[in-house]
């Protein structure tokens, strides 16, 4: 047994792998991660850009798609869905063993649709229909325009990973979209799953930069504290939202909670411990999707201890102190959401250029 197994068995947190590439599928490395305790996989356009640009693993299939007359955009989706389908098959035993709690693989809709409600809804529905496996999560960004798409997908009984959450206010909207979507969904709800991906280290970096610019001793003392505090307060909101008569009525129909998923959990600041955003956010009914390097670090020296609600009062006090110091967390979230969408669009567009260049030489 490994620390990853202990994380789930002892603390109720599911460790997922935040990376995917074809070489891992063919070499058995991904199966090795599953054997070590990984219970799900997340992907995004940046991950696929790196995987497809840095290796020749996709060249044979890309050449076949080109020979068949397929466009570069359609070829991209064929390459992506091939990897996602293979990963879904590897994780199918985890999905079955856990009765649908884990074993999921996430794939993101075209990031250029982040401000297009109808386009996002259509794209998410198409991905579910094309891949058509019960352990698929389609990623929809938690933009203002994405919220209605999330509700619609849930109301159709389709499972969703809500991504790019940076603020507590938006997180409350995401949970409401999930619950109201379940209420509109007919029949048994036990096959509908969702996670809400709250981004951690990106928030820390921006808050730290703003605290550094303020420069007062009180501000500097708060560096390295904001993201974990916000995650812990988000967990309080999760526990309070998924309780009470409204939620109990959905549980009677088979509903599962929409687990908070801690994303962006590699440490960006080398002055901070490399497992900070794993160790500090451990608790039941949560997921942490972790890059492979951070997974290795956690396996080596991480702490399997419940920490998510160890100091709820302190977390709220930290957020209040940030506000007094001049940090507007909603403004931070607005900036990070825009930057996150833009970064995924750039990765997506750059990859299409790279695939076009590769295809021209095959």
Q: Which of 66, 139, 268, 346 is catalytic?
A: 139
Q: How far apart are the first and last CA of the chain?
A: 45
Mapping DSSP to helix (H, G, I), strand (E, B) and coil, where does residue 62 land? Answer: helix
Instruction: Output the six-digit token pair for 245.
Output: 């008569």
Mapping DSSP to helix (H, G, I), strand (E, B) and coil, where does residue 256 land? Answer: coil
**Dihedral of alpha carbons 169, 171, 174, 178, sign:** negative
Q: Work out the angle between the directed axes of helices 146-155 and 168-184 (0-180°, nearest 10).
A: 30
Looking from the CA of 209 toward its CB, the CA atoms found within 13 Å total: 11
What is the CB neighbour count within 10 angstroms for residue 85? 16
Nearest C-alpha neighbor of 109 from the set 355, 340, 344: 344
50 is catalytic: no
How many whole angstroms separate alpha carbon 275 and alpha carbon 266? 7
How many whole angstroms separate alpha carbon 223 and alpha carbon 207? 8
DSSP-derived secondary structure letter, 113: G
Active-site amino acid positions: 139
């Amino acid at each position: 047994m490994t620390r990853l197994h202990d994380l789930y068995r002892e603390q109720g947190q599911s460790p997922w792998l935040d990376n995917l590439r074809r070489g891992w599928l063919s070499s058995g490395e991904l199966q090795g991660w599953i054997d070590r305790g990984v219970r799900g996989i997340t992907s995004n356009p940046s991950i696929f850009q790196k995987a497809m640009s840095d290796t020749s693993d996709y060249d044979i299939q890309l050449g076949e798609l080109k020979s068949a007359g397929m466009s570069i955009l359609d070829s991209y989706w064929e390459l992506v869905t091939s990897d996602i389908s293979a990963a879904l098959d590897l994780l199918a035993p985890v999905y079955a063993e856990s009765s649908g709690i884990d074993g999921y693989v996430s794939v993101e809709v075209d990031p250029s649709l982040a401000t297009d409600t109808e386009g996002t809804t259509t794209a998410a529905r198409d991905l579910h229909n094309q891949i058509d496996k019960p352990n698929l999560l389609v990623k929809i960004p938690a933009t203002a325009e994405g919220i209605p798409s999330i509700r619609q997908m849930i109301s159709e009984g389709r499972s969703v990973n809500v991504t790019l959450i940076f603020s507590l206010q938006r997180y409350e909207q995401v949970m409401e979209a999930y619950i109201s979507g379940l209420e509109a969904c007919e029949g048994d709800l036990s096959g509908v799953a969702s996670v809400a991906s709250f981004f951690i280290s990106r928030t820390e970096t921006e808050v730290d930069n703003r605290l550094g610019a303020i420069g007062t001793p009180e501000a500097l003392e708060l560096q390295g504290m904001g993201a974990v505090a916000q995650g812990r307060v988000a967990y309080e909101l999760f526990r309070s939202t998924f309780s009470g008569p409204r939620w109990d009525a959905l549980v009677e129909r088979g509903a599962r909670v929409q687990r908070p998923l801690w994303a962006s959990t590699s440490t960006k600041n080398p002055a901070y411990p490399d497992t900070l955003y794993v160790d500090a956010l451990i608790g039941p009914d949560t997921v942490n999707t972790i890059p492979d390097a951070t997974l290795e670090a956690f396996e080596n020296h991480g702490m399997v201890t419940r920490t998510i609600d160890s100091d709820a009062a302190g977390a709220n006090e930290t957020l209040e102190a940030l506000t007094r110091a001049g940090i507007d967390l909603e403004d931070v979230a607005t900036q990070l959401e825009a930057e996150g969408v833009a970064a995924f669009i750039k990765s997506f567009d750059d990859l299409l250029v790279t695939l076009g260049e590769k295809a021209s030489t095959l």
